[in-house]
Amino acid sequence: MSELEVRNKIVFTWVDDSREPHEYVKHLRRPKGRQARLNLPKITAFLGKIAELQERIEKQSKKGASVADNMAMIESFFTPENEQLFPFILQMETEDELRILNEELTAIEVIEAVSKAATYIVEESLNRSEVQQALKKLGGEGVEEAPA
């Protein structure tokens, strides 16, 4: 499996009420168009929020926080503003995909998947030739391309 296939592939697994295991594989597409450009700042800010959440959990765990305390911090991350980005970041558009996202996955699974997908979107957006050219015009060297 190529590194790109690993970077753009997210596997969701869950067990339903009848103890039947399920798996859904989502292959992310390279972001395109106006919606991708408009949402890129939101997505990068979102990645920052995830990093802050991870830091808070690590600090609290070192202080002896319980699993319940950590779960409460994770649940507080699910604000309407954050949740509206999940389907876009994960490119989940069908009713079945949205049901999986909203009903089958735990909060931790959603955050892990969104973090991976958001990282992929940002990397792929920065690798676009017009973005590289704009960064070079601003006096930078561009951004090192992520492995393909």
Distance CA 90, CA 85 (A): 8
HSE of 42, CA atoms in CB hemisphere, 13 A: 14
State pLDDT tens for residues 69-91. 888 888 888 888 888 888 888 88
What secondary structure letter does DSSP report for 127?
Answer: T
3-state secondary structure of 130: helix
- pTM recorded for the entire structure: 0.73
Could you tell me the residue ranges of all domains in the chain?
3-137
Nearest to 85 by CA among 38, 31, 42: 42
Average pLDDT on 30-44 reads 78
